[in-house]
Structure 1
């Protein structure tokens, strides 16, 4: 009879071990599923942040390009105005020199 009791105890122990193993497998599976879900969520968040940063860089680039082009246009306009003024000053000086040489020629 003690053999029967030991066999029953061994069977009960095997059942408990199998139940424990099944429970651990189920817990591990749940943990893996939870981790996979968390990683997917974090990955989606990281991608959204990356795309937002990329959009911000593109917007800054557009703004800075517009500012640079406006400055270049302003500088070109200023250079053209300065050249025109210099040309006008040179022409006025030339006219003044010619007028002075005519006065000198008339006096002689």
Structure 2
């Protein structure tokens, strides 16, 4: 009878070991599934942040390009105005010199 009890205990222990192993496998599987879900969420969030960052960079680039083009246009306008004024000043100086030369020629 002792052998029967011992056999029953061995079987009970094997059953408990199998149940424990099944529970551990189920817990591991649940942990892996949870980890995979968390990684997927974090990946999606990281991708959204990356795309938002790219959009922000593109918007800044457009704004800075518009500012640069406006500054270049203003500089070109300023240069054209300065050249025109210099040309007009030179022409006025030439006219004054020619007028002075004519007056000097008439006096002689």
TM-score (norm 2): 1.00
1:59 offset after TM fit, Å? 0.1
Q: Which runs of 4+ in 1 moved over 4 A?
A: none
1:36 and 1:104 map into 2 onto residues whose CA distance is 100
- 2:95 corresponding residue in structure 1: 95
Instruction: Give the equivalent residue in structure 2 for 1:11.
Output: 11
Deviation at residue 32 of structure 1 after TM alignment: 0.2
**Match status 1:47 vs 2:47:** yes
Unaligned runs of 5+ in 1: none
C-alpha distance in 2, partners of 1:40/1:12? 41
Partner residue in 1 for 2:30: 30
Distance between the aligned counterparts of 2:71 and 2:46, measured in 1?
37
Structure 2 runs not aligned, ≥5 long: none
What is the Cα deviation at residue 76 of structure 1?
0.3
**CA RMSD, Structure 1 to Structure 2 (Å):** 0.2
C-alpha offsets along residues 49-80 of structure 1, whole Å, 9 cap, x if unaligned?
Answer: 00000000000000000000000000000000
- TM-score between both structures, scaled by the size of structure 1: 1.00
How many pairs are equivalent?
Answer: 108
